[in-house]
Amino acid sequence: MVDVIPAPGHHPAHLVYYDHRTGLLFTGDFFLPGRLLIEDTAADKQSAARVIDFVNTHAVRYVLGAHIELDRDVNTYMRASQYHPQEHSLELTREDLLQLPAALNRFNGFYSRYGNLVLMNPVRVLAAEAITVLVALALIVWSSIRFARRVGKRKKYKGSAS
């Protein structure tokens, strides 16, 4: 028998599965050894409470996420990395999962770490990265224009002095 638990937050249609025979809780991208991508913090908090209520009444042997993004020292790998030396194990514990509500309560809506958990809102992080690139480009253009004007003034000054 497999229980299916709705767990929106990472995605509105996300589900968590519990296998009664093995005691495995498959959390997919909702909870994994890596970046927890949170698109809706309120929904994620409700899902965490729902999953933890379930875990408190069932024997969970391991919590299994969909993939691994941490090394054994709990450092995140580069996004989209295909090479993971010294990879963290996929198996997480019930105790790891019990940290999630506190981590979500401290989540700043952008990026934060809580113990071994890394939480981030990918849309906000991407927007911040885009703004940073645009500001850098604007500064480069502004500096280039200013530099060109200074060089032009020097040439004009030298030309009128002769």
How high does pLDDT run on average in the chain?
Answer: 89
Give the pLDDT confidence of 19-64 residue by residue, as tens digits. Answer: 999 999 999 999 999 899 998 999 999 999 999 999 999 999 999 9
Q: What's the rounded Cα separation, in Å, for the pair 103 and 119?
A: 8
Cα 59–chain centre separation = 29
Confidence of residue 158 (pLDDT cuts 50, 70, 90): low
Cite the beta strand spans of the chain per DSSP E. 2-6, 15-19, 24-28, 35-37, 62-65, 91-92, 111-114, 117-120
φ and ψ at 32, to 5 degrees? -155, 165
CA pair distance 53, 97, nearest whole angstrom: 11
Domain layout of the chain by residue ranges: 2-120, 122-162
* Entry pTM: 0.76
- Spatial distance between the Cα atoms of 107 and 157, rounded to a whole number of angstroms: 58
